[in-house]
Structure 1
Amino acid sequence: MRIGIIGGGNVGQALAAALRRAGHAPILLLRSPGTEDAPLAPLADAAAYILAVPFDAAAEALAAVAPGGIPVLDATNPLAMGPDGLGLSLGFDDSGAERITRAFPRLRLTKVFNTTGANVMADAARFAPRPVMFAAGDDADAKAIALRLAADIGFEAVDAGPLRAARLLEAHAMLWIDLSMRRGLGRDFAFALRRAVP
């Protein structure tokens, strides 16, 4: 699939590399055109966009790309610095994903690729068992694309339910960030879903 990745930071670069290895055709959409990257503008033949910019830049980026009916996979997290350091700027009664869809009511948005670090997403196959990646959304086709891409790059892809479950996924992301930055685990770990042996 041809995937437009909005943003060229750590997450965008990691997902581009992983998707390329999995046989997809990711295109990094950036503010400043680079040698092989595209400017931040619509990509008419994309199967999906991955939103991989800071949350505060999401609305501006989506307005520039104008995805129309193309599914958007939201890899953002609403983070802000507070008295205790980095934390979520939204609580459990709202999510960044829901705020984005309120700003763009026709957006076919699924929350995914937000619950682990870029280095895990770059090469999920390094981990055993496979790391888990959740997807939450109200558009069944958009969520199916999210789950397929997550599986293609090495994750155990799990449907987390409707878009309002993004409130839980963003908190799950904050747990990974806290363990990584404050609790000494570093960036080279991932969560996995384990099942009881019958």
Structure 2
Amino acid sequence: MKIAIIGTGTVGSALARGLKQSPHKIILGARDAADRATQSLAADVGGELASPREAAGSAELVILALPWDVAETAVKALGDLTGKIVIDCMNPVGMVGGALGLLLGHTTSGGETVAAWLPGARVVKTLNQVGAEMMADNAGLPHRPVMFMAGDDPEAKSIVAAVLSNLGFEPLDAGDLTKARLLEPFGMVWINQALLRGKGRSWAFAAVERT
């Protein structure tokens, strides 16, 4: 399957490296294909480079790995993605009352907002609940890290679950896309522990069952 990663920053780069050994073909959607770091990333993961619009248009699955403050303009510029599976791994964060917090919640979510920007796309909210380091490489953890996903299309979620497994996660279905309202605050729990409570970034959530 051809996967387009839109955005080559910290998260986009980590996902590209995490999928390097997968059977998927990676195409990086970058604003500046001449950037040396972006070219180095493409060479490292054996991926193609294209404009964001070209990358999204040529792929079967599109991963949005963009800062929220530029997301609307960038996502709408991708064109018509009707029928394509789109993973939204962005958390709608910004400064709220002088502290980092969610800009959306309770009655809507970033995932639902992305779906409104891309009518006809099969949006799945996931990969927002852990830091980039664990996306690139989570081998060696004592438990397989869990990754929840939410979306309205069962087939799309089945395909996304396989991609999550390629990245080393245990995929768990949280329900329809409105459940992004749960997953985005859950992502903030990781951010709070990692950045504000001193836990650092080398950890992930796991679902541990009694046997």
Residue pair 2:63, 2:87 contacting (<8 A) in 1 also: yes
1:12-51 aligned within 5 A: 12-34=12-34, 35=39, 36=42, 37-43=49-55, 44-51=57-64
Distance 1:68 1:60 in 2: 18
Amino acid of the residue matched to residue 53 of structure 1?
A: L
Per the alignment, in what secondary structure is the counterpart of residue 20 of structure 2?
Answer: helix
Partner of 1:58: 71
Q: Does 1:126 align with 2:144?
A: no
Per the alignment, in what secondary structure is the counterpart of residue 20 of structure 1?
Answer: coil
Deviations 1:7-59 (A, max 9, x none): 00111001101111223222110111133421122334412000000123222
TM-score (norm 1): 0.93
RMSD: 1.4
Partner of 1:91: 105
Amino acid of the residue matched to residue 55 of structure 1?
A: W
Report how many aligned residue pairs link the two structures.
Answer: 197
Per the alignment, in what secondary structure is the counterpart of residue 198 of structure 2?
Answer: coil
Deviations 1:40-95 (A, max 9, x none): 22334412000000123222222222223211000000001123521111122210
TM-score (norm 2): 0.88
Partner of 2:162: 148
Residue pair 1:55, 1:78 contacting (<8 A) in 2 also: yes
Distance 2:18 2:9 in 1: 14
Partner of 2:45: none
Distance 2:175 2:8 in 1: 29
Q: Does 1:174 align with 2:182?
A: no
Partner of 2:172: 158
Deviation >3 Å, runs of 4+: none
Which structure 2 residue ranges, 5 or more long, are not aligned? 43-48
- 1:147: how far off? 0.8
Residue pair 1:98, 1:164 contacting (<8 A) in 2 also: yes
Which structure 1 residue ranges, 5 or more long, are not aligned? none
Partner of 1:137: 151
Distance 1:57 1:145 in 2: 27
Distance 1:141 1:42 in 2: 25
